[in-house]
Structure 1
Amino acid sequence: MNPRWQKVLLEYLEALAVALILAFVIRTFVVQAFKIPSGSMLDTLLIGDHLLVNKFLYGTRIPFTDKVIMPLEDPQRGDVIVFEFPEDTSKDFIKRIIGVPGDVVEMKDKALYRNGEKLVEPYIKHTDPNAQQRRDNFGPITVPAGKYFVLGDNRDESYDSRFWGFVDKEKIRGKAWVIYWSWDGPSEIRFDRIGRMVK
């Protein structure tokens, strides 16, 4: 091979290797893309929303372990988080934190109470006027140390902590940050949602 072309090829391979390493580092430690596959967070998040998740805020997880280092802050009430689904850790779920360690959570006929105070939740959606046990009436329960109680904003159509329990802090992947793309199929791009912060 011509030495000049050999040098050019080597430079391209080096650039590609650096790009792949940077992409791996960014995905592992800083941000990760996440797609909304279901309607459990309607109307806050729509099916077809694509998010960036901040993985750095709650601390960086050492690859292939549950050990977290250098957290900037703890998960807070109201944060929308992505986490490993406790019943199948190969899946990621997204829900809103309702209770942090030590909180007492209770629901009475769809109304949610935390530490004895009724919550004002402008983000929730109800699709079923009827109240059901477990889904709409539960507790009071106390959130244990190191765990979080999460619910979907589409309260009547969300499979969440009411059914499978708490989320371990070590299983939280990050905080939902911003919608970078949104569509309802190739013919319907939702431009008004692109760049919207997740709240």
Structure 2
Amino acid sequence: MNFALILFVLLVMTGIIWLIDLVWLKKHRNKSDKDPWWVEYGASFFPVILVVFVLRSFIVEPFKIPSGSMIPTLLVGDFILVNKYTYGIRLPVIDKKIIDVNLPARGDVMVFRYPEDPSLDYIKRVIGLPGDTVAYQNKRLSINGKPVPVVAEGDYLHPERLYYSRRYRETLGEVSYSILNDGDAPAYIPDASRFPGRENCKYNTAGVICRVPAGHYFVMGDNRDNSRDSRAWGFVPEENIVGKAFFIWLNFSDPGRIGSFK
């Protein structure tokens, strides 16, 4: 469902009703007459829909975490806010960038349209920038030949599934975050697609090495052995970017998580 398009259609319809009433109907209606129901509802909903449309299109958009690929940073059921202008101002519905602001940085948690099905929004961490060589070998990450610092943090208990993963603190540039690895999961990538730009990647028994094409980004989930990401389906085109995740605003099962993500 294209919610942005539905919202835009409602905005246009209610806006037309509001405008017709303002410039014509009011002038030909007695002050004692009650507004027709379609004018009353259309005109009253227009400012509300306008505010929601502007906020969602240009400032922030709510997003619900649907899977465990970003555990332990984000959990299933977290409701987050996505900054829509961090990476530039885009026209709503057609998603065409009209103003550049910032570019994604390594370590950002980014929402984007899934390259294999743009109707779906995905959330992952930015690992590689255009021109970078990203190597994920034997479950250790390197960028342009330099290993990314990682420190063991102890085991992580998945509360719903009651099993442990190994937890590490990874530092990518100025950003530090926790990642998970499962000891019994293979290092190789078993389900890689024939994605555009696959010739930039080399797969082996230890994992994958990719050079990120211009205008694209390499992303991974923090739950490394339970995330299907750029290692399997390739690079995120710049035009697919939605925004930067920055805040947990609700979690029904664990209110203590509100505001815990930066």
TM range (shorter): 0.7 to 0.9
Alignment equivalent of 1:152, drawn from 204, 221, 245: 221
Say whether the 8 Å CA contact 1:81–1:176 is kept in structure 2: yes
Structure 1 residue aligned with 2:234: 165
Matched, 1:110 2:139: yes
- Residue 138 of structure 1 is matched in structure 2 by 207
1:133-176 deviations in whole A, cap 9, x for unaligned?
Answer: 12683343211110000000000000100000000011010000
Structure 2 distance, partners of 1:4, 1:113, is 74
**In 1, are the aligned partners of 2:65 and 2:79 still within 8 Å (CA)?**
yes
Taking the aligned partners of 2:106 and 2:33, their CA distance within structure 1 comes to: 57
Q: Identity of aligned pairs, percent?
A: 46
Of 124-133 and 44-53, the range deviating more from structure 2: 124-133
**Number of residue-to-residue matches in the alignment:** 193
Q: 1:1-199 residue pairs with structure 2 within 5 A?
A: 3-4=31-32, 6=34, 14-120=43-149, 121=170, 122-134=177-189, 137-183=206-252, 188=253, 190-198=254-262
The one-letter code matched in structure 1 to 2:60 is: V
TM score, norm. by length of structure 1: 0.87
Higher radius of gyration, 1 or 2: 2
Give the TM-score normalised by structure 2: 0.67
SS in 1 for 2:34: helix
Using the TM superposition, name which of 54-63 and 132-141 deviates more.
132-141
The answer as to whether partners of 2:188 and 2:208 remain within 8 angstroms in 1 is no
What is the CA-CA distance between 1:60 and the residue it aligns to? 1.9
CA shift, 1:66, in A, is 4.2
Which structure 1 residue ranges, 5 or more long, are not aligned? none
Q: Distance in 1 between matches of 2:59 and 2:229?
A: 26
8 Å Cα contact 2:73-2:261 kept in structure 1: no
CA drift at 1:102: 1.1
More helix by share: 2
Counterpart CA distance in 2 for 1:90 and 1:157 is 22
Tell which has more relative contact order, 1 or 2 (C-alpha 8 A, sep 6+): 1
SS in 2 for 1:125: strand
Using the TM superposition, give the Cα deviation of residue 73 of structure 1 relative to its aligned residue in structure 2, in angstroms. Answer: 0.6
1:86 and 1:171 mapped to 2: Cα distance?
Answer: 7
Aligned to 2:193: none
Paired with 1:194 and 1:106, the residues of 2 have a C-alpha distance of 34
Sort the Cα spacing of 1:57 and 1:112 in 2 relative to 1 into closer, same or farther, 3 A: same
- Paired AA for residue 25 in structure 1: V
